[in-house]
Amino acid sequence: MTEPQNHNKRVLIVGGGIAGMQAALDIGGSGYEVVLVDRLPSVGGHMHQLSETFPTLDCAQCIMTPRTVDVGRHEKIKLHTYSEIEEIQGEMGDFRVRIRRKPAYVNWDICTACGACTEKCPTSIQVAFDRDLELPKTMRSGRVRHEGTGKAIYTLSPQAVPKKPVIDADHCTYLQSGKCGLCAKVCPVGAIDYEQGPSWSEERVGTIILATGFELYPLEKLGEYGAGRVADVIDALAMERLLSSSGPTSGVMRRPSDGKEPKEVVWIQCAGSRDPELAMPYCSKICCMYSAKQAMLYKHKVHHGQAYIFYIDIRSAGKRYEEFIQRAMEEDDVLYVRGKVSKVFREGEKVVVWGVDTLTGLPLEVAADMVVISPAMVPSEGTQALAGMLGLKVDEFGWWTEQDGNLAPLETVRPGIFVAGAGSGPKDIPEAVAQGSGAAGKVLSLLARWGGHDDQDAGHDELGR
Ligand SMILES: Cc1cc2nc3c(=O)[nH]c(=O)nc-3n(C[C@H](O)[C@H](O)[C@H](O)COP(=O)(O)OP(=O)(O)OC[C@H]3O[C@@H](n4cnc5c(N)ncnc54)[C@H](O)[C@@H]3O)c2cc1C
Ligand code: SF4
Ligand code: SF4
């Protein structure tokens, strides 16, 4: 079979989570140019938000930071963060991609990331990266709130790559009412640009990897668990932020409503998963593991606390996963209750959980200090729109459809377009990394058939504002 020599050997990766970063590093490390697009200001995806990882309890930031740093400084990886795909045309070997960058109101080319703007900004905001956790004012000050978040000009985290700030236009006093302007006054290099608008650029690539990841099913849709309106009922990513030493409490275990240490915490698994009548029929695969992890970490912080996990059954199929669950039960005294929770509501200072222990058949009531919901994993917002642009299909829940779930799990129906990571269905980090490397391997084997390296200097056009 002869292959065309003039195919473009640059690669587009959409999504800079752990799967997209792994693919980018493998392809960039082989000497090919990568264009990596993420809608957030920095790369890392959800792993960036995690405290520690099952089953090894490695610190997520510590094992991920070398990867984000490598991605940030790799000469073959071109980052387009705070950006989304607006249009893709063409076919394998010659895709033209139009990318829209949102206004950051900061000129990143000259910003030195000194942080003076964030430090001086007087406007506090809820932090999406911290799942909008609202903590008492006393908890926000001093030791327990790190710099760089919670202000109208912010970076995603102290370890963000790139670590350049963006202004939240909806909350910035200057952009809303023309008052303030403090960040522009303190910026030593004049990087603040309140007039900045969106900008567009065009990239030409020959292959594409879609690594768009997942989101959590919103608490608002889970009426039986309080629909996100009951104080101290939080979702599992919020718990990751509370457990994380880079989180809003610096990892000190506190509940959001009053900052008190929670003495009894209940986890509810399968919230919106395995629920064909009301939500998603599928198993989200990782909740059993991360609930056990969180309960363990909670116990390591609150030694005399009690952790309860309500489960339907435990799914721990992975290397050393079952041993991890046993450790949670035996070493950390996590109390597993087999049963489904029917209602969660507030009663005074407590959050009451009503359920049935299906092993004994007896009703059960726990008056907890905090409840952690483990919601279903769902595809990232915008996956369907991207599929429309690419002429690809998503399944009935919105996950990327593989060409063949058994034998071609990384291919799509279009030649030269691949999927990797949790965008095609729930996955843990090892699987997402393996898929990132797998998709990179698929791309590299195509590039090898297309002939040597080609740096395509003409692969990028600035289209201006
Ligand atoms: C509470 C919780 C705890 C967890 N704990 C663990 C653990 O201990 N161990 C473990 O192995 N796994 C854990 N996981 C799972 C882990 O988070 C995932 O396996 C991993 O994040 C998947 O990586 P990914 O790159 O596929 O997707 P993501 O991390 O979701 O990254 C996707 C990236 O794509 C970007 N993106 C999405 N759509 C677009 C678009 N249209 N345009 C541009 N950019 C886009 C997003 O901004 C994001 O940066 C946990 C998950 C949760 C929810
Ligand atoms: S102008 Fe906006 S971002 Fe800058 S300091 Fe004021 S409120 Fe903060
Ligand atoms: S003060 Fe200026 S240089 Fe420093 S981080 Fe803010 S925008 Fe960048």
Residue 288 sits in a domain whose CATH number is 3.50.50.60
- Asked if residue 142 has pLDDT above 70, the reply is no
Same domain (yes/no): 202, 253: no
For the CA of 180, the closest atom of ligand 2 is 6
| Centre of ligand 2 from the C-alpha of residue 180, in Å | 6
pLDDT band for position 135 (cuts 50, 70, 90) = confident
The CA dihedral of 157, 162, 165, 166, to the nearest 10 degrees, is -100
pLDDT band for position 128 (cuts 50, 70, 90) = confident
**Could you tell me which residue, 136 or 35, shows the higher pLDDT?**
35
Interatomic CA distance for residues 257 and 278, integer angstroms:
29
SS3 of the chain: helix, strand, coil, percent, to 5: 30, 25, 45
| Residues 68, 49 contacting (CB under 8 angstroms) | no
Share of the chain above pLDDT 70, in %: 93
Pocket test for ligand 3, best of 42, 108, 111 (most atoms within 8 A of CB): 111
Same domain (yes/no): 257, 373: yes
| Centre of ligand 1 from the C-alpha of residue 114, in Å | 28
Q: DSSP class of residue 146?
A: -
| Centre of ligand 1 from the C-alpha of residue 454, in Å | 32
pLDDT band for position 272 (cuts 50, 70, 90) = confident
User: By three-state DSSP, how is residue 23 classified?
Assistant: helix
Q: Could you list the residue range(s) of the whole structural domain that residue 432 is in?
A: 11-102+198-213+380-464
Q: Can you tell me the mean pLDDT for 17-46?
A: 98
Interatomic CA distance for residues 53 and 138, integer angstroms:
29
pLDDT band for position 110 (cuts 50, 70, 90) = very high
Which ligand gives the minimal distance to the CA of 186?
3
| Residues 43, 16 contacting (CB under 8 angstroms) | yes
User: By alpha-carbon position, which residue is closest to atom 8 of ligand 3?
Assistant: 111
Same domain (yes/no): 347, 255: yes
The amino acid that residue 151 corresponds to is: K
Task: Quote the pLDDT of residue 464.
Answer: 43
Same domain (yes/no): 248, 264: yes
| Centre of ligand 1 from the C-alpha of residue 432, in Å | 8
Alpha-carbon distances, residue 55 vs 289, 291, 295, 298, 316 (angstroms): 8, 12, 13, 15, 10
Same domain (yes/no): 327, 249: yes
For the CA of 175, the closest atom of ligand 2 is 2
For the CA of 60, the closest atom of ligand 1 is 8
For 167-210, give the secondary structure using H, E and C: ECCCCCHHHHHCCCCHHHHHCCCCCECCCCCCEEEEEEECEEEE
Instruction: Evaluate whether residue 108 is within a structural domain.
Output: no
Instruction: Evaluate whether residue 363 is within a structural domain.
Output: yes
Residue 109: Cβ-neighbour burial (10 angstroms; 0-12, 13-18, 19+): exposed
Q: Can you tell me the mean pLDDT for 85-112?
A: 98
Instruction: Evaluate whether residue 6 is within a structural domain.
Output: no
Q: Is the CB of 166 under 6 A from ligand 3?
A: no
pLDDT band for position 3 (cuts 50, 70, 90) = low
Q: In this predicted model, what pLDDT tens digit does every residue of 298-311 receive, in sequence order?
A: 999 999 999 999 99
Q: Can you tell me the mean pLDDT for 93-115?
A: 97
Q: Is the CB of 187 under 6 A from ligand 2?
A: no
Same domain (yes/no): 299, 181: no
- Asked if residue 255 has pLDDT above 90, the reply is yes
Q: Can you tell me the mean pLDDT for 258-273?
A: 94
Which ligand gives the minimal distance to the CA of 152?
2
Q: 239, 242, 224: which is closest to 371 by C-alpha?
A: 239
Instruction: Evaluate whether residue 4 is within a structural domain.
Output: no
Q: DSSP class of residue 102?
A: P
Cis previous bond, 55, omega within 30: yes
Least confident of 41-50, 106-115, 453-462: 453-462
Task: Quote the pLDDT of residue 456.
Answer: 52
Cis previous bond, 281, omega within 30: no
Q: What is the DSSP string of 382-398?
A: THHHHHHHHT--B-TTS
Same domain (yes/no): 283, 345: yes
Q: In this predicted model, what pLDDT tens digit does every residue of 374-433 receive, in sequence order?
A: 999 999 999 999 999 999 999 999 999 999 999 999 999 999 999 999 999 999 999 999
Q: Is the CB of 380 under 6 A from ligand 1?
A: yes
Instruction: Evaluate whether residue 128 is within a structural domain.
Output: yes
Containing 464, the helix (H) or strand (E) segment is strand 460-464
Task: Quote the pLDDT of residue 6.
Answer: 84
Interatomic CA distance for residues 453 and 415, integer angstroms:
20
Same domain (yes/no): 86, 202: yes
Question: Cα-flanking dihedrals φ and ψ of residue 201, to 5°?
Answer: -140, 160
| Centre of ligand 3 from the C-alpha of residue 335, in Å | 48
pLDDT band for position 159 (cuts 50, 70, 90) = confident
- Asked if residue 171 has pLDDT above 60, the reply is yes
Same domain (yes/no): 371, 286: yes
The count of domains in the chain is: 3
Instruction: Evaluate whether residue 107 is within a structural domain.
Output: no
- Partners of 383 in the β-ladder: none
What residues contact 339, with CB distance under 8 A and at least 6 apart? 310, 355, 356, 357, 358, 359, 364
Same domain (yes/no): 232, 325: yes
| Centre of ligand 3 from the C-alpha of residue 183, in Å | 8
**Could you tell me which residue, 134 or 300, shows the higher pLDDT?**
300
User: By alpha-carbon position, which residue is closest to atom 38 of ligand 1?
Assistant: 212
Q: Is the CB of 153 under 6 A from ligand 2?
A: yes
Interatomic CA distance for residues 413 and 227, integer angstroms:
38
Q: In this predicted model, what pLDDT tens digit does every residue of 207-224 receive, in sequence order?
A: 999 999 999 999 999 989
Task: Quote the pLDDT of residue 442.
Answer: 98
- Asked if residue 454 has pLDDT above 70, the reply is no
Least confident of 52-56, 84-88, 138-142, 323-327: 138-142
